Chain A
Amino acid sequence: MENLALLWGIIGPGVSGAVFGAGWWFWVDAVVCSAVQVSFLHYLPGIFASLAALMFNAVNKDEIGYDYYSPYGDDSEWRVKLWLFVAYVVSFVCLAGSVGLLVQDALTDKGPSVWTGVAGVLQCVLVLISGLIYWTCHSED
């Protein structure tokens, strides 16, 4: 079990990068192979998901401990929690938005194809998972 944790610390960031790349490359594929011009609205869930992944990795894990003494005073825990909360809200809104766009693409014939919608959902999910994986790696030390 201990070996697994060590191995994860070594290859974890690489796996996270691979998943992140996979998410974005699926989206590039959908945009390239789409018969119609994909509007900017469809790009938004992916962009905000990447932003959310960046946001919750920017947090120093020590700061949410119980006896952390910060230079801002004793009650600054709420800032970190607010930051994390906003990151979670953004990520869930992206997921919901991409699923909504998928349903809309599946129903109409005139807009982007179903593959665009599916790729959008895949992109959102994979980017968020990649953020989570990176989060688990850098807290190993």
Chain B
Amino acid sequence: MARSMRTCLHSGRLALLAILVSGGIVLQILACALYNNWWPMLTVLMYLMLPMPLIFFLGSSSPSMMSNEGDGWVNFTKFLTGASVVGSIAIPSILKHAGVIGWGALSMELSSFIVFGVAILWLIQMNGEDEYSSAF
């Protein structure tokens, strides 16, 4: 593939990724604004913790997340990611169970979570592709 084609496709993918992330943020805020109930914003705390391993290890030259390296801090950030994934599903569910929010807000929160998840997985995959092509 020609080099200009590849860079065009790459920036196109980045733009799509940015649209996904902003879509997720819009869904999250809509879940609160449409029902005039700002409790679901607590989930934002969990979303802050979610991309932590990416932020810490994206640019580093040390073994990436996808390897089997047993470095203590890598394991701990993965632990935090797992906990924040469960937390971002759990907080809306607990709010629904306690009757603080309704079904509409719950479904918007969960779809916002799915959108963020897809965006992060795509970012990880893109990052893995970059390493492969740069060695080439």
Residues of A that sit less than 8 Å from B by CB = 6, 9-22, 25, 28-29, 32-33, 134, 137-138, 140-141
> Bound complex: CA of A14 vs CA of B86, how far in Å?
10
Do A138 and B72 touch across chains, with their CB atoms under 8 A apart?
Answer: yes
**Interface pair A140/B70, CB less than 8 Å apart:** yes
| CB-contacts of B69-104 with A (<8 A) | 69-70, 72, 74-76, 78-87, 90-91, 93-94, 97-98
B interface residue count range (under 10 / 10 to 19 / 20 to 34 / 35 or more): 20 to 34
Tell me if B78 and A21 are in contact (CB < 8 A).
no
Q: Which residues of B contact A28 (CB under 8 A)?
A: 90, 94
Secondary structure dominating the interface of B: helix
Question: Roughly how many angstroms separate A19 CA and B85 CA in the complex, as a whole number?
Answer: 10
Rounded to whole Å, the gap between the CB of B54 and the closest CB of chain A is 13
Give chain A's interface secondary structure class: helix
Q: Determine whether the beta carbon of B79 is less than 8 Å from that of A14.
A: yes
CB neighbours (8 Å) of A32 from chain B are 94, 97-98
Chain A residue with the shortest CB-CB distance to B68: A9
B76: chain A residues within 8 A (beta carbon): 13
Taking a contact as CB atoms under 8 Å apart, the answer to whether A10 and B68 are in contact is: yes
A6 to B80, alpha carbons, bound, how many Å?
20
Q: Which B residue sits closest to A139, measured CB to CB?
A: B70
Contact with A along B21-61 (1 / 0, CB 8 A): 00000000000000000000000000000000000000000
- The reply to whether A14 and B82 contact each other, CB–CB distance below 8 Å, is yes
Given the complex of chains A and B, what is the CA–CA distance between A11 and B124 in angstroms? 14
Q: A14-B78, A29-B97, A32-B98 are in contact. Are A22 and B68 (CB under 8 A)?
A: no
Interface pair B81/A17, CB less than 8 Å apart: yes
Q: Which residue of A lies closest to B71 (CB)?
A: A141
Per the bound structure, the CA–CA distance linking A125 and B35 in Å amounts to: 37
Most B CB atoms within 10 A — which of A20, A21, A25, A138?
A21
B79 touches A25 (CB 8 A): no
Q: Are B70 and A9 in contact, CB atoms less than 8 angstroms apart?
A: yes
Contact B84 A21 (CB under 8 A): yes
Q: Is residue B2 within 8 Å, beta carbon to beta carbon, of the partner chain?
A: no
B99 (CB) vs chain A CBs: closest residue: A33
Chain B residue contacts of A25, Cβ below 8 A: 86-87, 90-91, 94
Closest to B65 in A: A10
A6-B68, A17-B78, A32-B98 known; 5 other A-B pairs, CB under 8 Å? A11-B78, A18-B82, A21-B82, A25-B87, A25-B94
Closest chain A residue to B80 by CB distance?
A: A17
Q: Report B57 CB to chain A, min CB distance, Å.
A: 13
